[in-house]
Amino acid sequence: MANLHTKAIHGGLDPAAHRGAVSVPIYQSSTFAFPSAEEGAARFAGTSPGPIYTRMGNPTVQALESCVADLEEGCGAIATATGMAAISTVFLALLRNGDHVVCTDPLYGATRTLLTRYFFRLGVTSTFVPTVDTTALAEAIRPETRLIYVETPANPTLDLVDLAAASAAARGAGIPLVVDNTFAGPHLQRPITLGADVVLHSMTKSLNGHSDVIAGIVIARDPAMLAVLRDAAIVFGMTIDPHQSWLVLRGIRTIGMRVERAQANAIAIARWLEQHEEVAWVRFPGLPTHPQFDLAQRQMSGPGSVIAFELRGGTEAGRILMNSVRMITLAVSLGGVESLIEHPASMTHKGVPVEEQRRQGITAGLVRLSAGCEDLDDLVADLAQALACVAVAVPPRPRVSA
Ligand SMILES: *Cc1c(COP(=O)(O)O)cnc(C)c1O
C-alpha cells in the first residue's frame, strides 16, 4: 500500500484506460452510448461497470472518488456538488421521521441550520454536546438515536473530539459515527482508521486547496453503507460534474506539499502570536498550551494550518486587524494556498446569538487565521504591521481569563 504523497499523485490514475493520458481526461458528457441493448441492460443491472448517465457516475468523477477513498482508507466515495451536499446526502440517506442525532458543538454553521431548521421540520431532533466531552456524547444517545455526527478540530474553537472514544460510543449503541474531516484533511487525520463509519469533506477547502472550486465528498468504511449513500446522492441529485471533479483532482495532486508547508507556517505563526502583546491567547493543536495537546499528538499526524487567537481589545481590535492586513486576505474559508483571516463573532458566526457564541467559545476578540503557503517572513511582517495598527488604536487591557 502506497504512502500519502504517492496516493494523492497516483490515485484514480490509469493511463491505459484513457488512451495513455497521464492527466485523467474530462468526460464532459451527460450520457454514454451503450454498444448493445444487452450491455445497456447489464449496466442498469449493475453487472457491468460501464457508465450510464453522469448524475449516476462518470469516469472523471470516479477517478476523483477512488483517489479520495484511498487517501481516507475507505471502501469507496461519492463526490458531491458542495460540502453541504455531502452532509445533506448523509442525513437524507440515514435519517427518517422520529430519529435523533447526537452532534458535537460548535458545528459548521450551515450543518447546524440543516439539523435545527430543516431536519427538525422533517421530524428529526438533535442534541448538541460540547466537542471535548466524550462522556456527554455517549450519555446523549437515546433509543431513537440513529447517528453520531462530529467535527474535529471544531470550527472556530479548534477543540478536538477523541475519535476513538466517539467510535466506541457509537459501536456500543450500534449506530454509525460520521466525521466531518474538512479541517484536518486526510493527510493529517484518517477517522476511518480510528473507527468512524462515514467521513465527509468540503473539498472546497484543503483537498482542492486553490480557493476556486466548491465541492464535497462522502467516504464510507464498508460497501453496504456506500451503496445506501450513493443511492441517496443520485436520487436527490447531489452529485458533482466532471469539470469540477477534474479541477479538484488536479488540486489533490499537491495536497501533501501544500498541507506540510502551510502547517509549518502555522506552527511558526502560532508561536509568534503567543508572544505578542495584543494577543490574549492562541488556540492551536500544535501548541502545548492547547488543552488537548496529547490527544492531538495521538490522533493527528500534524496540527494543520488553522489558528484561533483572542485579541485583548475584543471586537474593536478584531475590526481594526481585519482592516489592517495587507497581503493576508480578509475572507472566509480555509485550506487554500493563500492565507485568509476572518473575525467569527461578526462574520461566519454572526447568526449565532451572542450568549450561544460565548457558550461555544466564540469570544468577541476571536480571530481565525488559515495559514497558506506564502513565505513565512511575509506573513509575520503583515501580521506585525496589522497588530501595530491595533496597538495604536486599542491600548492593551490587563490580561483576563478567557
Ligand atoms: C466549508 C465547510 C463545510 C461546507 O462546505 P461547502 O463546500 O461550502 O458546501 C462543511 N463543513 C466544514 C467543516 C467546512 O469548513
Distance CA 286, CA 297 (A): 8
The reported pLDDT for the residue numbered 320 is: 95
Protein residue with its CA nearest to atom 7 in ligand 1? 83
From first to last of its 402 residues, the chain has per-residue pLDDT tens of 589 999 999 999 999 999 999 999 999 999 999 999 999 999 999 999 999 999 999 999 999 999 999 999 999 999 999 999 999 999 999 999 999 999 999 999 999 999 999 999 999 999 999 999 999 999 999 999 999 999 999 999 999 999 999 999 999 999 999 999 999 999 999 999 999 999 999 999 999 999 999 999 999 999 999 999 999 999 999 999 999 999 999 999 999 999 999 999 999 999 999 999 999 999 999 999 999 999 999 999 999 999 999 999 999 999 999 999 999 999 999 999 999 999 998 888 888 888 988 888 899 999 999 999 999 999 999 999 999 999 998 766 666 555
Beta carbons of 302 and 317 less than 8 angstroms apart: no
- Interval between CA 252 and ligand 1 midpoint (Å): 17
Q: Where are the domains of the chain?
A: 4-252, 255-393
Joined grid coordinates for residue 240: 458533482
Q: Quickly count: other Cβ atoms within 10 Å of residue 401's Cβ.
A: 5
Pocket lined around ligand 1, Cβ cut-off 6 Å: 82-84, 108, 151, 155, 180, 182-183, 202, 204-205, 214, 216
Using the atom order of ligand 1, give the atom closest to the CA of residue 87: 10
Protein residue with its CA nearest to atom 2 in ligand 1? 202
Closest CA to 383 of 271, 288, 289: 271
The residue behind cell 462515514 is: 198
Span 255-393: which CATH code? 3.90.1150.10
Polymer length of the chain? 402
pTM: 0.95
What is the residue type of 208? N
The reported pLDDT for the residue numbered 222 is: 98
Using the atom order of ligand 1, give the atom closest to the CA of residue 334: 15
Q: Which CATH number fits domain 4-252: 3.65.10.10, 3.40.640.10, 3.40.50.620, 3.30.70.1230?
A: 3.40.640.10
Closest CA to 157 of 318, 372, 355, 366: 366
Calculate helix-pair angle for 376-393, 314-324, nearest 10 degrees: 130
